[in-house]
């Protein structure tokens, strides 16, 4: 099987195929925001939620009471990314509402009630990744968050607050925090709310039970006493409280308040039904076989290796440009190409160039732009891990799966490496320090550690091989690849493997892959995604939620839901 070509199609060739009119584009910039106001003053940024009721990403519902849909959250994700790269001097982000007496009523219920199952699940997954990204920024970038809850805060609105380092609630005798999904809609909080209550905020389970089955939630005094919020203040004192807590959080941040950022220009991309093309990355889509083939290109020249040169390169710096492209491609495929169930990863170029890149990522790790680039790779690889697609890697002649790019191979469900007869054609892989210490899965372990599931000698042997060029036999012996077909068997073995995968139930594959990918100890993030992939996925297809008389379907009609009382 040949790798997808890296070059863009010549003019007049491979004319773009039509895309559906409701295709989602994840690229945003502040001047196009419809729902968020971003203000930066010194080391503090303020994100005010001011949802445009008529600005839904799809037709058929109004975004009342600062409720949100995917479009609102795409803007939030973009704003946080810009704070990482364009405003590295910001230490604290205040998330609040621009509307009177309402912080956010959460995910728009009418949007959920009229959406397909796939849309609901993908929406929840993206919001989860955005909230996890906030916590990742706090932990690894020193970007702290405080939720200034200046009005009623329900469902996904409270889940947004839960992702912050601190929550402050106005004590105006009416504002409350709540997770009403079970009582009101017959579904679960979809963005980690149940897990964060226990794992992050250490709310007692009995109190959490009351809280999650009470539609009206809890107001200031009890919310603070139960640990649902950190601080409360009367309306006249609320601004002063937020200023005080912002200063305290800023003092705990490791960010350099004087750092100057770069510009995240709109990501260059050419997208149609058959191909996604970016700098350094092309994705060819075979709709008939339901396969997307990612072709990653190594840099053509040595990348910049000193802070000043890296800064001057900005968003065009190879590691950053490739990470942004890969992130967008993953999101595009997950949302707009639902029937493309298998993703095949290939690469072409000089593996030594990738090894040199990893050396720069290590040597310059104290430079904020390098640190943020590594952090972005961490998040992109994690997005790949939790994508409900079969992931295969093909290591062929000319591949450059080294270090950071080898992480993609380690993330795949299977990998195939050619055992070439001709030594000049034989591909190789190489571990670098990146595979030991740069990146962590959401289970808190490296992909190598997860791969060897407690086999300490195998893991130690892999670490000992860092820096060595490994051919197919050596890579198989080190446990880094799954199969090593020779030249005679390669085409048939790859073809049969992909055909077999495409013949299996996508539902069963989603459950199997999610179960197999995250071995070892559980973390808050694995529990969030595990429950999203199982319980919420299940609840979203049950008649008690989405049947003709289900709670989610009839919300707002004035009728009471009719439940099947069988406990399953």
* DSSP string of 216-238, one letter each residue: T-EEHHHHHHTTS-SEEE-HHHH
For residue 281, give the nearest of 272, 263, 289, 293 by alpha carbon.
Answer: 293
Cα dist. 151→96, 134, 172, 391, 554 in Å? 9, 22, 8, 44, 26
More confident residue, 8 or 206: 206
What does pTM read for this prediction?
A: 0.94
Helix (H, G, I), strand (E, B) or coil at 144: strand
For residue 106, give the nearest of 73, 78, 81 by alpha carbon.
Answer: 73
Max CA distance (Å), the chain = 78
pLDDT of 4 strictly over 50 = no
For residue 263, give the nearest of 92, 133, 142, 82 by alpha carbon.
Answer: 82
Highest mean pLDDT: which of 198-202, 271-275, 522-526? 198-202
Helix (H, G, I), strand (E, B) or coil at 266: coil
Using pLDDT thresholds of 50, 70 and 90, give the confidence band for residue 21.
low
Q: Is the dihedral of CA 221, 224, 225, 226 positive or negative?
A: positive
pLDDT of 5 strictly over 60 = no
Return the bridge partners of 167, or none: 147
pLDDT digit string (tens) for 411-464? 999 999 999 999 899 999 999 999 999 999 999 999 999 999 989 999 999 999
Mean predicted confidence (pLDDT) in 99-125: 95
Mean predicted confidence (pLDDT) in 125-145: 96
pLDDT of 381 strictly over 90 = yes
pLDDT digit string (tens) for 293-333? 999 999 999 999 999 999 999 999 999 999 999 999 999 99
Task: Give the model's pLDDT for residue 422.
Answer: 92
Cα–Cα distance, 24 to 7 (Å, whole number): 25
pLDDT of 6 strictly over 50 = no
Mean predicted confidence (pLDDT) in 264-281: 94
Domains of the chain, start order = 30-252 (3.90.226.10), 270-509 (3.90.226.10)
Using pLDDT thresholds of 50, 70 and 90, give the confidence band for residue 504.
very high
Question: Tokens for 41?
Answer: 């003053």
Task: Give the model's pLDDT for residue 529.
Answer: 87
> In this prediction, what percent of the chain has a pLDDT beyond 90?
91
Question: Tokens for 504?
Answer: 């299996």
Task: Give the model's pLDDT for residue 19.
Answer: 59
Using pLDDT thresholds of 50, 70 and 90, give the confidence band for residue 3.
very low
Q: Is the dihedral of CA 328, 331, 334, 337 positive or negative?
A: negative
Q: Is the dihedral of CA 9, 14, 18, 19 positive or negative?
A: negative
Cα–Cα distance, 162 to 108 (Å, whole number): 18
pLDDT digit string (tens) for 186-212? 999 999 999 999 999 999 999 999 999
DSSP result, 518-562: --SS--HHHHHHHHIIIIIHHHTTSHHHHSTT-TTTTTTSSPPP-
Return the bridge partners of 548, or none: none
For residue 478, give the nearest of 498, 463, 500 by alpha carbon.
Answer: 463
Q: What average pLDDT does the chain have? A: 94
For residue 259, give the nearest of 366, 122, 368 by alpha carbon.
Answer: 368
Cα–Cα distance, 171 to 159 (Å, whole number): 19
Task: Give the model's pLDDT for residue 15.
Answer: 38
Using pLDDT thresholds of 50, 70 and 90, give the confidence band for residue 20.
low
């Amino acid at each position: 099987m040949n790798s997808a070509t890296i070059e863009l199609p010549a003019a007049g060739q491979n004319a773009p195929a039509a895309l559906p009119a409701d295709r989602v584009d994840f690229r945003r910039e502040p001047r196009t925001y419809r729902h968020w106001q971003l203000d930066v003053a010194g080391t503090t940024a303020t994100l005010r939620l001011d949802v445009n009721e008529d600005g839904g990403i799809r037709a058929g519902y109004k975004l009342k009471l600062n409720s949100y849909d995917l479009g609102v959250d795409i803007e939030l994700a973009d704003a946080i990314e810009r704070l990482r790269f364009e405003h590295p001097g910001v230490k604290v982000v205040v998330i609040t509402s621009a509307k009177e007496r309402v912080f956010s009523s959460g995910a728009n219920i009418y949007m959920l009630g009229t959406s397909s199952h796939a849309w609901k699940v993908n929406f929840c997954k993206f919001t989860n990744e955005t909230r996890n990204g906030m916590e990742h920024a706090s932990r690894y970038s020193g970007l702290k968050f405080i939720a200034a809850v200046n009005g009623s805060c329900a469902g996904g609105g409270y889940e947004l607050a839960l992702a912050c380092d601190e929550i402050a609630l106005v004590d105006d005798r009416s504002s409350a925090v709540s997770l009403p999904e079970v009582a009101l809609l017959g579904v679960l909080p979809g963005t980690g709310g149940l897990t964060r209550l226990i794992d992050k905020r250490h709310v007692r389970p009995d109190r959490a039970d009351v809280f999650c089955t009470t539609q009206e939630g809890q107001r200031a005094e009890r919310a603070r006493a139960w640990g649902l919020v950190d601080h409360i203040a009367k309306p006249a004192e609320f601004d002063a409280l937020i200023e005080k807590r912002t200063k305290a959080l800023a003092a705990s941040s490791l960010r350099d308040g004087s750092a100057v950022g770069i510009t995240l220009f709109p990501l260059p991309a050419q997208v149609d039904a058959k191909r996604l093309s970016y700098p350094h990355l092309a994705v060819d889509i075979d709709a008939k076989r339901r396969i997307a083939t990612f072709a990653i290109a190594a840099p053509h020249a040595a990348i910049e290796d000193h802070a000043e040169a890296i800064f001057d390169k900005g968003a065009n710096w190879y590691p950053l440009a490739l990470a942004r492209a890969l992130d967008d491609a993953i999101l595009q495929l997950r949302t707009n190409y639902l029937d493309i169930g298998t993703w095949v990863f290939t690469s072409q170029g000089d593996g030594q160039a990738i090894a040199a890149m990893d050396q720069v990522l290590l040597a310059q790790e104290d430079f904020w732009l390098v640190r943020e680039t590594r952090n972005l790779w961490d998040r992109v690889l994690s997005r790949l891990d939790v994508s409900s697609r079969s992931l295969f890697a093909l290591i062929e002649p000319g591949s450059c799966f080294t270090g950071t790019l080898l992480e993609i191979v380690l993330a795949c469900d299977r990998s195939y490496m050619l055992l070439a007869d001709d030594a000049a054609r034989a591909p190789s892989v190489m571990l670098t320090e990146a595979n030991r210490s740069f990146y962590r899965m959401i289970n808190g372990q490296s992909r190598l550690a997860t791969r060897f599931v407690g086999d300490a000698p195998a893991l130690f042997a892999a670490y000992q091989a860092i820096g060595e060029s490994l051919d197919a036999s050596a890579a198989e012996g080190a446990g880094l690849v799954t199969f090593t077909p020779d030249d005679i068997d390669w085409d048939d073995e790859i073809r049969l493997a992909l055909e077999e995968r495409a013949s299996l139930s996508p539902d069963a594959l989603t459950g199997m892959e999610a179960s197999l990918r995250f071995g070892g100890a559980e973390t808050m993030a694995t529990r969030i995604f595990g429950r999203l992939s199982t319980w919420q996925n299940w609840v979203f297809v049950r008649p008690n939620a989405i049947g003709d008389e289900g709670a989610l379907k009839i919300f707002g009609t004035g009728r009471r839901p009719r439940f099947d009382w069988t406990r399953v």
